[in-house]
Amino acid sequence: MEAGSKRENPWQRRQFLALLGAVPLLASRDAFAKAVNPAQLQRAQTGGVDVLSASELQAGMKGYGLTVVKGTKVERFDIEIIGVLKMAMPQQDLILIRCAGLGLEHSGVVAGMSGSPIFVQHPQLGERLIGALSYGFPFNKDPVAGVTSILDMLPELDRKLAPLPVNQRITVAQPEPIRVPGQGDMLPVALPLTVAGVHPDVLALARPQWAELGFTHLNAAAGTGGATADPKQVAKLEPGGSISVLLARGDISMAAIGTVTWVRGDHFIAFGHPFKGLGQLHLPVGSADVQWILASQQSSFKMANAFGDVGVLDQDRQPAVAGRIGPKAAMVPIDIVLTNRDRQATTKWHVEATDQPAFFPLVVAMALGTAVRVSEPIAENAAVTMTVRFDLPDGHAPVEFSETMTGLSGSAGLADVSSLAQNAAKAIVFNGFERLRVERVAATLTLADDRNIAFLESARPQSEEVDAETPIAIQVTLQLANVGPQRVTLTLPPLPRDLMGQTVTVQIGAEKSMAPEQPDPGNIRDYLNALRRQIPRNRLAAVLNLPEPTVLLRGVRLTQLPVGVRDELAGHAAAYRTGRETLRTHVDTPWTLNGALTLKLRVRQTP
């Protein structure tokens, strides 16, 4: 342990014990300390780098940091130690520094500098690494930053990977601001998100959602080469060099930009703060080419192109992120085929998305939204039919849904294409039962310059008095723009005999607004089956609610229960819901349906 340290670092202890085994028959730790040079011991503990703990720093010490401000060249900026904030985070101190040089007096601390290694010149020990630039103050006039101690970061290089649990609920943890009394909020230095190939309107809709995930800097002017980048453009990961975390690549691409703190062999650490606090994860990483630093009073940020797929990010922890150079993270392919019905022209899109639940649904939405807006821009009426299939692992059948929509403001009005796909993806990955990794997304869309809306005009039964146990035919008239009336026949199943002598009400309209009650799923297969039963907007239905209440309990619907049983369940500890069973029929139409109709039918009393 270092002199003056208040607590023992478990990682340091492991390294100490490993080195202890190489010194035979030493009776005590004191004897070992005499036998091994302190500088040699410290270098062994830190993987070959000379470091200094926060407790050994003094105000006024000077040094430098490493970062990239243009291209891929690592450059120095000056720093001076201000002091140390004790226990600024749980079991973690934070070092305060003032920066100078590389234009930082003008820009302040720049988003994208997260992870910049910071060195100081110790009067006796010489140059030492103290940590990573990681925290800053919004709207701060001075280039003052927080530094995460290197001794808190280095253990992440050796954290063992655990197998992912088969059954787990997914939550997204957000890093909380550090409260510094009298000085406002100190926040993690932002990671600018470079975006390429995304239509501006689609990006505008997605921007608030990315902001909720902590990405406040979305730079649509930068491109992301991903795995297809020219190998000559891909820089190696090195201390002070840029690192990109890829969330999507291909025909659209997205990557978060930060800085590497340290590399040991084929392992690296970066950022000095969490990426998103997700623990163990697997995201592809590459290098980046910085184009410009955009100075801002709120928060300056790097504009960069992300390149390559040189490794994987494994750990997303409080003091740092860590990963390996060489392995490749799996991505989810998204294939989109879009056909223009009028021109008989087809365009294809291919995107690869991270499978991390926090980001995957948003990437799906942006890929589909961009394909619709770019592949076939339509000024006024735009009709679209779409089918989206999510292929799943472990023997699960695919989840597939189809939909028909109209954009009255042209393809700009088809934002629901994105939201429907996003909601389906979110429902799968946040299912609450187990961690499902989507293996592939396949979408087929057909667009036309058309207004495929049908308005319900009238509904006529064969007779207003009907017989029980006899099917009921209802003719529905729909009005279409520029086409005229269209007629569709719906046939209700026979009514039960116990409705004889009663007047019943039949609701007619889009079945999506009259969806049948479903019991809560009891397992993942019930849940996925419920997703497969999603009702499209073009489905015309006739629905009659039966008077007898039903009970939805433990994933099933119980019908025709005696009153005594229902009374008994009312005091039962098991969670249940009451509902109504329905008679219903439907027909899928080529149109998006608007309006609703109601019929009153008298059921004849017969012997």
Question: What ranges do the domains of the chain cover?
Answer: 10-158, 178-197+215-325, 332-448, 453-603
- pLDDT tens by residue, 399-433: 999 999 887 666 566 778 889 999 999 999 999 88
Query: What pLDDT, on the 0 to 100 scale, is given for residue 37?
Result: 43
Query: What pLDDT, on the 0 to 100 scale, is given for residue 397?
Result: 95
Do 185 and 137 meet the contact criterion of CB atoms below 8 Å apart? yes
CATH number for region 10-158: 2.40.10.10
Q: 3-state SS of 447-492?
A: EECCCCEEEEEEEEECCCEECCCCCEEEEEEEEECCCEEEEEEEEE
* pTM summary value: 0.80
Q: For 76-89, what is the mean pLDDT? A: 92
Residue 264, exposed/middle/buried by CB under 10 A (0-12, 13-18, 19+)? middle
Hey, do 10-158 and 178-197+215-325 end up sharing a CATH topology, with the first three levels equal? yes
The overall average pLDDT reported for the chain is: 82
Query: What pLDDT, on the 0 to 100 scale, is given for residue 570?
Result: 56
Q: For 305-325, what is the mean pLDDT? A: 91
Write out the two tokens for 57.
């720093």
Element (H, E) at 339: strand 332-340
Write out the two tokens for 27.
């009776």
Q: For 206-221, what is the mean pLDDT? A: 83
Helix count (H) and strand count (E) of the chain?
10, 33
Q: Inform me whether the pLDDT recorded for 32 exceeds 60.
A: no
- Residue 548 vs residues 9, 559, 563, 564, 566: alpha-carbon distances, Å: 67, 8, 10, 14, 12
Name the β-bridge partners of 195. Answer: 254
CATH top-level class of 178-197+215-325: mainly beta
Phi, psi of 183 (to 5 degrees): -125, 5
Query: What pLDDT, on the 0 to 100 scale, is given for residue 483?
Result: 80
Do 234 and 110 meet the contact criterion of CB atoms below 8 Å apart? no
CATH top-level class of 332-448: alpha beta
Query: What pLDDT, on the 0 to 100 scale, is given for residue 34?
Result: 40
